[in-house]
Structure 1
Amino acid sequence: MELAPSFLARAGWHVKEAAKPEALEGLLRQVWTEGCRPWPDIPLSQDAFIACLATHTPCPSVGVGIPGLFAQLTPGDLYLACACAEGIPAALAAFERRYIASIPATLAHMKLTEAMIDDVRQRVREHLLVRDDGPPRIAEYSGRSPLANWMRVVSVRTALNLLRAAREEDTVGDDAVLEFLPASDGDPETEAIQRRYQGEFRQAMEEAFAALPSKPRYLLRLHFVDRLSTTKIGALFNVNQSTASRWLQSAQQAVHDETRRLLKERLDLSSQEFTSVLRSVESQLDLSLSRLLTEA
């Protein structure tokens, strides 16, 4: 197969190299040889590779020429990406071994949970390799930088998007949670106290939630919103069930303690009056926390 005519037809531009088909043919065959050399077990056709190469080769600028453009390529990486875009099983397997498997090391500095890393891996697979209405996104790789660098950018960006989404969920969840205040037990005195100090209680509860570090907030959401058992939460964080249970109890207690502290600090009441107020709301704190998070 002659590569030059196929390349020029797909590139969509004409340069002086087109008048020297033998020279262009030699350049293309060199790129082809360098591309397939690292992947002898991946059966990508010459035609598919040349089509991919032409798609990602811009019109040469004055003084650069096609040799200069080809010198910028990483042919082996472009070959693998083209083969993945074609859906060749051996290429997909090689991509999984070399690049998907390296995502945990790439993201190690971000200190993500194992579950989050698994989510990143799956999303990167879907983002790059799954066909939608057109070619998979890996077909956008041009070969002009190492595929490892390109993958690092994709992986970190995916992880950051997941973290951003998780923070937004937590924020939305907390706002919705705090719409629910303790239910009245029907006692007129308790109802009067709760009505009188409802604003203070709400503010204290809001700030108690806000004061929690991200991990306890996440744990509470997993337990009350996603309804994960402490056994499943333990598996998620690679700890045993008793440790997960202790973490949850600590998070709940932190909300209770901070709410009580803020109320005591802000209500100008005698010890006896504060004890009465605290008794009326404290009896509802556990129920409130469960209801708030469950309804969020």
Structure 2
Amino acid sequence: MKARGAALIHLGIPRRLDYAGLMPSFSPSQLHTRALELLSSRAARALETDATLGTLLHALLEASAHARTRFGVSDDDFLRALLRHVPADGGSLGTLRTVQAEELALALGCAAGHPVALAEFDQRFGAELRGALQRVDPSPAFVDEALQAVRERLFLRRDRSEPKIASYLGTGPLGGWARAVTLRVAINLRRGATVEVPLDERLAQGLKTEACGPELQLIKIQYREAFQQSFRAALGALTDQELNLLRLHFVGGTSQEKLGELYNVHRVTMARWLAHARERLLLATQRELQKRLKVEAEELHDILALVRSQLSITLTRALA
């Protein structure tokens, strides 16, 4: 109880005891005040009079109270994790409404190395991740090696970076997110990869101009920096699953049928998923280019049309 009180003092919020659950809680207005202190000045100004933020945060902290206690996640750490969903300009809070509070608390506990959280993760998802690995390669030796690699990828710090599981945002099932990481590790092991090249690096830097049509070559020569920045930003808008599907299909050469088996869906469904991921990448690239390029409207229209008509082909050629 002493440690819990210390967290409350750190929050700078008066403590109010919830006698039903013997757990301290905060009012929406108190959470709103604390959130404004943590947000950027621009977001704080935009949300200063918006009571919705405090209401949403209050609901998520209440929903995660038991899990945060079990997994040793402080109120402040959880609040900071939630505020990752608030746009820099304080815009729509729609993403915050989709957060799965209990699973986010579990992920944060695992990122901190809490033994109860790590044991809970293994109990919930261990069999599922093992099954995913067995569909890639059923040999016991491979599965054991891959499971160890997955655990290192998820839970160990690399240099000064946080464990991979710290990047889980809570907007989708934790099991599905962990399965995507697992499949990525497994494919890399099968291909004998010693260094994982991030997909954004492979796409944004690896798209060589000679792999494009002549018109797109000219665009990329003239607007190379804007193109790469736009492509990176577009990749950042994709989900982990979409990035993983693009990596496995375009980089790893995994067929739609094999991907369907890995994700337990029909080949037709997988084809739709891939098409949707590629379409989102194209649309996001167009939007980002439009923001960055200072050209006449007619020229911009031609540029965007060329990107849309040739980039999907370029994607396949450049990553072959």
- Pick 1 or 2: higher relative contact order, CA cutoff 8 A, min separation 6: 1
